[in-house]
């Protein structure tokens, strides 16, 4: 529900502030006063139009209970703001939002019925309308529809799986060959975790072995002076144990180095370099030796899966064939109930259509490909005319009659309904019928409508008068006396007769 509107610098309006009631809000006033301009500001706030937007427009509304978004956070009382400078910008609770995102966000809650819009009568939308009518009074249909939709979703997921299997099957030979090649390559190298660390150490030792041998050849001469040094310690009458221990350690180190050098001489340098090259290739391709080993194991498991693909495909094909048969049966049951409900709705519509001076309406069922609604395709005939041939006004009146007929009893708020001159250019009887239908819809919608007829204005929960003085327009929320005077003006012109005033009072009583 929209609670408040504030705007500034909107074409012929300097400033407007309005607080709205629940139910039906009607705007009236002389032609050219700015009713459509004011309505466009509301529409613009929800991303419907941009022409004639205000420099500043704020709408305060209660957050719909189901309104959720991952991109935006909302308070219980929302503020939608539009700012027009070089371009029009939109904000929801201070958060910048695009026009497209705004329109998509509020499309389930703010409906705009325009004479230029002939949407809403697709086969899918008509089936949803009939289904919703059945759901509220037939629990068995609700259960049947729920079962069908659940199984259809599962059925479609299995079809998607089968298509993927078939696609995989086309690539299977090449895929298997490549997988085997990858596995063989890794198994041929047979890497060990941290193996390259040890090989690098050996490589470094191999690169220094000749220098080590040359250095040791010179350094071993130190042992020829060992006894002389020990004699010096003896003559000085000093302890030589430390020197002797050091020389023994040096002798052991030289011996160990000599053994290592002999072992290194037996190592094939080319083999070490080739092994390092293979390991480096794996690391460059897979990131590390651990990842190469993990990749090999994953490919082995994948190959096992490929071996089962034919069996899986056969099982899926069998399931899909069987489920298609079951869904066809369920869809036929849905169709049978829908056709009966369509006749009920046709009968219920007769009174409204007659009051609207429109011929009878018929729901025409035909067979379609299986989808989430079943096997039904549905269209509408109004008399002998298809919906596509109707004028905008006729189309809107049929849509209004359908909405009223299928209105759920004791329904929660359905949001906001904005009507585009719904009762323009209609007769008195048609105006009465339209007013009654809109009044009924206002029990679950907050409705904004510009009215050209006295009957809708008389039934309004809130009546707003739009007038123009010079180049500026203003708005006024009318009291009971003001409403009688305005309705009398609609009936009898700027100087209504006493009869027009009395008729206006009668309509308001």
Mean pLDDT is lowest, of 28-32, 161-165, 360-364, 486-490, for: 161-165
Domain-located, residue 149: no
Tell me what the pLDDT averaged over the chain comes to: 87
In this prediction, residue 51 has a pLDDT band, given cuts at 50, 70 and 90, of low
For helices 428-441 and 309-355, what crossing angle results, to 10°?
130
Question: Is residue 423 within 8 Å of residue 456, measured between CB atoms?
Answer: yes
Q: Considering only CA atoms, which of 259, 232, 257, 254 is closest in space to residue 243?
A: 232
**Sign of CA pseudo-dihedral 302, 303, 304, 305:** positive
Q: Any idea how long the chain is?
A: 509
Residues 167 and 276 placed together within one structural domain of the fold: yes
* CATH for 429: 3.40.50.300
Residues 110 and 176 placed together within one structural domain of the fold: no
Question: Is residue 20 within 8 Å of residue 73, measured between CB atoms?
Answer: no
Residues 98 and 179 placed together within one structural domain of the fold: no
Residues 166 and 266 placed together within one structural domain of the fold: yes
DSSP strand E in 30-69: where? 56-62
Instruction: Please name the residue ranges forming H helices in 190-225.
Output: 195-219
Domain-located, residue 82: yes
Helix (H, G, I), strand (E, B) or coil at 445: strand
What is the rounded CA–CA span in Å between residue 92 and residue 82? 9
Query: What mean pLDDT do residues 423-448 have?
Result: 87
Per DSSP, 451 falls in state -
Residue 342's pLDDT is 95
What is the rounded CA–CA span in Å between residue 102 and residue 79? 12
Among the ranges 4-18, 101-115, 410-424, which has the highest mean pLDDT value?
4-18
pLDDT exceeds cutoff 90 at 60: yes
Domain count for the chain? 2
Distance from first CA to last CA of the chain, Å, rounded?
27
Residue 295's pLDDT is 82
What is the rounded CA–CA span in Å between residue 199 and residue 305? 37
Question: Is residue 80 within 8 Å of residue 88, measured between CB atoms?
Answer: no
Q: Considering only CA atoms, which of 140, 141, 111, 115 is closest in space to residue 125?
A: 111
Residues 95 and 219 placed together within one structural domain of the fold: no
Residue 408 sits at the vertex; the CA angle it makes with 116 and 382, to the nearest 5 degrees, is 45
Q: Which residues make Cβ contacts (< 8 Å) with residue 178, sequence separation at least 6?
A: none
Query: What mean pLDDT do residues 253-278 have?
Result: 75
Residues 201 and 288 placed together within one structural domain of the fold: yes
Tell me the residue range of the domain where 24 lies: 1-117+414-478
Residues 113 and 168 placed together within one structural domain of the fold: no
What is the rounded CA–CA span in Å between residue 79 and residue 73? 12
Residues 87 and 224 placed together within one structural domain of the fold: no
Query: What mean pLDDT do residues 18-47 have?
Result: 91
Look at the pTM and tell me if it is higher than 0.75: no
Residues 276 and 175 placed together within one structural domain of the fold: yes
Residues 71 and 210 placed together within one structural domain of the fold: no
Report pLDDT digits (tens) over 449-481.
998 889 999 999 999 999 999 889 999 999 999
Residues 97 and 187 placed together within one structural domain of the fold: no
């Amino acid at each position: 529900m929209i609670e408040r509107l504030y705007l500034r610098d909107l074409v012929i309006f300097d400033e407007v502030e309005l607080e709205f009631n629940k139910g039906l809000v009607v705007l009236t006033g002389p032609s050219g006063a700015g009713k459509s301009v004011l309505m466009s500001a509301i529409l613009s706030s929800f991303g419907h139009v941009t022409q004639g937007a205000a420099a500043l427009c704020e709408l305060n509304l209660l957050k719909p209970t189901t309104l959720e978004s991952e991109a935006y956070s909302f308070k219980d009382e929302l503020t939608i703001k539009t700012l027009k400078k070089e371009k029009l910008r939109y904000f929801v609770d201070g958060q910048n939002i695009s026009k497209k995102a705004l329109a998509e966000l509020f499309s389930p809650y703010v409906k705009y019925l325009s004479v230029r819009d002939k949407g809403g009568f697709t086969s899918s939308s008509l089936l949803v309308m009939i289904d919703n009518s059945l759901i509220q009074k037939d629990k068995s249909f609700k259960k049947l529809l729920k079962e069908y939709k659940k199984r259809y979703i599962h059925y479609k997921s299995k079809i998607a799986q089968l298509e993927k299997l078939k696609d995989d099957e086309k690539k299977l030979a090449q895929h298997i060959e490549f997988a085997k090649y990858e596995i063989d390559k890794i198994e041929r190298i047979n890497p060990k975790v941290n193996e390259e660390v040890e090989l690098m150490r050996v490589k470094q030792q191999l690169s220094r072995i000749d220098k080590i041998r040359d250095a040791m050849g010179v350094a071993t001469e130190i042992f020829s002076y060992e006894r002389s040094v020990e004699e010096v310690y003896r003559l000085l009458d000093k302890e030589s144990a430390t020197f002797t221990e050091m020389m023994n350690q040096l002798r052991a180190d030289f011996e160990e180095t000599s053994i290592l050098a002999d072992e290194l001489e037996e190592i094939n340098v080319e083999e070490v370099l080739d092994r390092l090259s293979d390991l480096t290739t794996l690391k460059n391709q897979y990131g590390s030796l651990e990842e190469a080993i993990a990749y090999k194991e994953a490919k082995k498991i994948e190959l096992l899966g490929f071996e089962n693909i034919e069996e899986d495909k056969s099982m899926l094909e069998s399931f899909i064939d069987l489920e298609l048969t079951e869904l066809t049966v369920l869809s036929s049951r849905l169709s049978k109930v829908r056709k009966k409900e369509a006749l009920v709705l046709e009968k219920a519509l007769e009174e409204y259509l007659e009051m609207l001076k429109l011929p009878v309406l018929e729901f025409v069922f035909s067979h379609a490909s299986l989808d989430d609604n079943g096997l039904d395709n549905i269209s509408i005939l109004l008399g002998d005319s298809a919906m596509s041939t109707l004028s905008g006004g006729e189309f809107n009146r049929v849509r209004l009659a359908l909405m009223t007929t299928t209105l759920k009893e004791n329904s929660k708020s359905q949001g906001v309904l904005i009507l585009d001159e719904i009762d323009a250019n209609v007769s008195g009887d048609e105006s009465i019928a339209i007013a009654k239908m809109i009044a009924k819809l206002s029990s679950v919608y907050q409705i904004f409508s510009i009215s050209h007829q006295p009957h809708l204005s008389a039934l309004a929960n809130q009546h707003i008068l739009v007038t123009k003085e010079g180049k500026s327009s203003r708005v006024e929320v009318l009291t009971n006396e003001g409403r009688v005077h305005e309705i009398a003006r609609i009936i009898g012109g700027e100087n209504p007769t006493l009869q027009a005033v009395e008729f206006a009072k009668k309509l308001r009583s």
